Amino acid sequence: MIYLDNAATSYPKPEVVYEAIMNQMREAGANPGRSGHKMAIEAGRQIFAARENVAKLFNIDNPMQVVFTGNATESLNLAIKGVLRPGDHVITTSMEHNSILRPIKTLEKLGIENTIIQCDFAGRVEVDAVRGAIKDNTRLIVMTHASNVTGTLMPLEEVGKVAKEHSILFLVDAAQTAGIFEIDVEKLNIDLLALPGHKGLMGPQGVGILYIREGVEVMHFKEGGTGSRSEELIQPDIIPDRYESGTPNSPGIAGLAKGIEFILEAGLNNIRSHEEALTQYFIDELKKIEGVKIYGPHNAKEQAAVVSININEEDSSEIAYILDKVFNIAVRPGLHCAPYAHKTIGTFEQGTVRFSIGYFNKKEELQQVVAAIKEICSQLH
Ligand SMILES: Cc1ncc(COP(=O)(O)O)c(C=O)c1O
């Protein structure tokens, strides 16, 4: 199979990730932070090492500000619902995933206003539009680093500056860029960073991360056992314990730690260069095929390694089905949990066929994909 669905989850994972998961379960399979015996201490040590790896990759001062969750969706919900209060206002964009839009829409019912800034046809947002949307009660700006539909990169540095100037919290959804692009929470003025462990960070499914800048008050939404201050009936305010009640996904976190080590060794620049070169090659080849419509910036420098297309007026699910069944190529059709993004680029009815490239993809695979698309187009004419 040619796997081009890395925006949903990366596959395959580095060999060291598979090994780390098995080793954790075999050799440190006790419950971390609980019992105090040797194996429990080793399990806790491995989780702390994972926090340190996350901190290193994103230039986070204090690893204890790294909270493990189940996925990026949980991280975004924790941040959005934990920060906003009735009477507040939040700004976001029309290119966001439902993991941002749905919590924001739910909060409307509690008297939390929102502004969804309209992006252009290629998914770009104007920084001035963000600035212009700020009101006295704006408490949060939340946006993705790159669209999961078109790959379009957002102007994080500029928006981060605007947020800082106005003392507004800045939450970034790095689901499509973490482990591929340099993200420095200090340089970009990021207060809250939501990450999936299972995409570019190369870990297994079932792990997410939320970085919370020291001093930012985020209300927890679950209470329970943390292994700390058990004598108290109220949730401890120690971070990360406050947000991590219940037994963690220790095997998943051990896998994520190795995924990040793999990335640090390979080098973010090398990973990005490889994906950028393949993306540009793919876009250039697609442009030559009659009947193919490409969405987004059409320029690998302005987008993550995500390319959405349509073939004439064909249903995107039909094309993805043919790619899978006839050519053994895995892609994702439809709306990609981002309906406003599809409204923005004019594909709400048709959806798009999304090809998402990962570090393990090779040029020869994309050559085969281009040949497959040519053949589908010629059959349809
Ligand atoms: C931009 C974006 N945000 C959030 C998510 C949600 O990530 P998860 O599946 O880890 O909850 C995704 C996943 O596709 C995404 O692409």
Q: What is the 3-state secondary structure (H, E, C) of the chain?
A: CEECECCCCCCCCCHHHHHHHHHHHHHCCCCCCCCCCHHHHHHHHHHHHHHHHHHHHCCCCCHHHEEEECCHHHHHHHHHHHHCCCCCEEEEECCCCHHHHHHHHHHHCCCCEEEEECCCCCCCCCHHHHHHHCCCCEEEEEEECECCCCCEECCHHHHHHHHHHCCCEEEEECCCCECCECCCCCCCCCCEEEEECCCCCCCCCCCEEEEECCCCCCCCCCCCCCCCCCCCCCCCCCCCHHHCCCCCCHHHHHHHHHHHHHHHHHCHHHHHHHHHHHHHHHHHHHHCCCCEEECCCCCHHHECCEEEEEECCCCHHHHHHHHHHHHCEECECCCCCCHHHHHHHCCCCCCCEEEECCCCCCHHHHHHHHHHHHHHHHHHC
Task: Give the pairing of strands 169-173 and 353-356.
Answer: unpaired
Does the beta carbon of 10 lie inside 6 Å of ligand 1?
Answer: no
Mutate to test the pocket of ligand 1, among 95, 96, 97 (most ligand atoms within 8 A of CB): 97
Does the beta carbon of 99 lie inside 6 Å of ligand 1?
Answer: yes
Q: Which of 126, 124, 154 is nearest to 142 (CA)?
A: 154
Average pLDDT over residues 181-199: 98
User: For the segment 242-299, what is each residue's pLDDT rounded down to a tens digit?
Assistant: 999 999 999 999 999 999 999 999 999 999 999 999 999 999 999 999 999 999 999 9
Cross-strand bridge partners of residue 195: 209
- Calculate how far, in angstroms, residue 198's C-alpha sits from the geometric centre of ligand 1: 10
Does the beta carbon of 6 lie inside 6 Å of ligand 1?
Answer: no
For residue 364, name the pLDDT band (cuts at 50, 70, 90). very high
Mutate to test the pocket of ligand 1, among 177, 337, 342, 356 (most ligand atoms within 8 A of CB): 337
CA pair distance 163, 134, nearest whole angstrom: 9
- Calculate how far, in angstroms, residue 195's C-alpha sits from the geometric centre of ligand 1: 8
Task: Give the pairing of strands 89-93 and 113-117.
Answer: parallel
Q: What pLDDT is recorded for position 208?
A: 98
Q: Which of 256, 210, 336, 282 is nearest to 24 (CA)?
A: 256
Does the beta carbon of 98 lie inside 6 Å of ligand 1?
Answer: no
**What phi, psi does 155 have (nearest 5°)?**
-80, 70
- Calculate how far, in angstroms, residue 88's C-alpha sits from the geometric centre of ligand 1: 25
The atom number, within ligand 1, closest to the CA of 196 reads: 10
Q: For the chain, how big is the Rg over CA atoms in Å?
A: 21
Q: Is the pLDDT of residue 34 over 80?
A: no
The atom number, within ligand 1, closest to the CA of 199 reads: 10
User: Could you tell me the CA-to-CA distances from 207 to 163, 249, 256 in Å, in that order?
Assistant: 28, 7, 8
User: For the segment 51-88, what is each residue's pLDDT rounded down to a tens digit?
Assistant: 999 999 999 999 999 999 999 999 999 999 999 999 99
AA letter at 337: C
Does the beta carbon of 208 lie inside 6 Å of ligand 1?
Answer: yes
Does the beta carbon of 197 lie inside 6 Å of ligand 1?
Answer: no
- Calculate how far, in angstroms, residue 41's C-alpha sits from the geometric centre of ligand 1: 32
Residues whose CB is less than 8 angstroms from the CB of residue 158 and which lie 6 or more positions away in sequence, other chains included: 127
Report percent pLDDT > 90 for the chain: 94
Average pLDDT over residues 133-139: 98
Written as six digits, the tokens of 350 are 């048709």
Q: Which of 101, 109, 112 is nearest to 77 (CA)?
A: 101
Chain-wide mean pLDDT for the chain? 97
Q: What pLDDT is recorded for position 231?
A: 87
Q: Is the pLDDT of residue 381 over 90?
A: no
For residue 226, name the pLDDT band (cuts at 50, 70, 90). confident
The atom number, within ligand 1, closest to the CA of 76 reads: 4
User: Could you tell me the CA-to-CA distances from 19 to 11, 28, 202, 248, 340 in Å, in that order?
Assistant: 15, 13, 13, 19, 40
